[in-house]
Structure 1
Amino acid sequence: MCFDKNQKGLTLVEVLVSVVILSIILLSIMKLFPQMVFMNIQNLNKSQAINTAKQVLVTWQNSNDVKNYLDDNTTGSLPGLYNDDGTYYYCETSEGSFSANIKIKKASDLSTGPIEEHFIQVSLINDKGIKVSETFGYIKVD
């Protein structure tokens, strides 16, 4: 190996320029972290709302009180019923930090056989009044 005797190494200006360039790159990357945290929190809240909406749907689909009321609306009542417009029953309950608006179709969508299936729609509203999640399904009444 041959070394050149006139090399003196890095100058102070070169070191400062490299530190400034590295700092600019690191600062631009660091700005992404708070945005990623914010997006993760939003995704977590959305996932929680979706799971809660599905849970409400399954609870209402399996409720004997709801099935009995849809079979014969002269007995019992729907929980949280606040409106009956002739086509749908409208109910409202609270699930955790959400308000659950439930809409159940009065008439069965299944016209054959002894089994009736009523359309149900579950919408979750957050404390700011914004619809966060919505899911659909059917309640089977034997």
Structure 2
Amino acid sequence: MSDSEKGFTLIEVLVSIVVLSIVSFSLLTIFTQSLKTTHDSLNQTIANQVAQNTLHTLNRRAATIKEPLKLSQFINQDGTCDFCEDTRIHGDKYVATIESLSSGPGHTIEVKISVTTSRLQTPVTLKGVISNATLREPFPETAVPTTN
């Protein structure tokens, strides 16, 4: 081979392959972590939606009750409710538990709803208020002054 021929040596090719492998492995690690973060975020979003749906369902059921509200009217002894014990989304089971934060019966109950699943490390918690129909009645029409 003459000195005038240009090309890559075997060492240069091997070094470039090693550098390309290191960069590729780093990008693969970043993509894997990104996918895991996205999946965790999706699970938290679904758990939050289950908690919000539970609160809305409790409010719809409370709207039909005329006497002062008690949490025992809505939930079982273990803190679960009959409509939220077995919520399955994408094959994962989401369990909502409801805890009263207010004391005694009244026309409103402050509640804390916690949603857990096997894929979440910490439960998603939502605080809200359940109220019955007496608080949802519209205000009476007010008299509009007339001009003479």
**TM-score, normalising length from structure 2?**
0.64
How many residues get paired?
A: 120
Q: Which residue of 2 aligns with 1:103?
A: 99
Change in Cα spacing, 1:35 to 1:43, as seen in structure 2 (3 Å) is same
Query: Which residues of structure 2 form unaligned runs of 5+?
Result: 88-92, 135-148
Range 127-136 or range 31-40, more displaced: 127-136
More strand by share: 1
User: Do residues 54 (structure 1) and 52 (structure 2) align?
Assistant: yes
**Fraction of identical pairs, as percent:** 23
Range 23-32 or range 128-137, more displaced: 128-137
State the Cα RMSD in Å.
3.0
The answer to whether the Cα contact below 8 Å between 2:111 and 2:128 also exists between their aligned partners in 1 is yes
Q: Give the SS at the match of 1:20.
A: helix
Q: Give the SS at the match of 1:98.
A: strand
Q: Give the SS at the match of 1:45.
A: helix
Point out which structure has higher relative CO (alpha carbons under 8 A, 6+ apart): 2
Q: Give the SS at the match of 2:7.
A: coil
Change in Cα spacing, 1:131 to 1:6, as seen in structure 2 (3 Å) is closer
Of the three residues 25, 30, 34, the one matched with 2:23 is 25
Cα distance in 2, alignment partners of residues 72 and 47 from structure 1: 30
| Superposed displacement of residue 25, structure 1 | 1.3
Q: Which residue of 2 aligns with 1:126?
A: 117
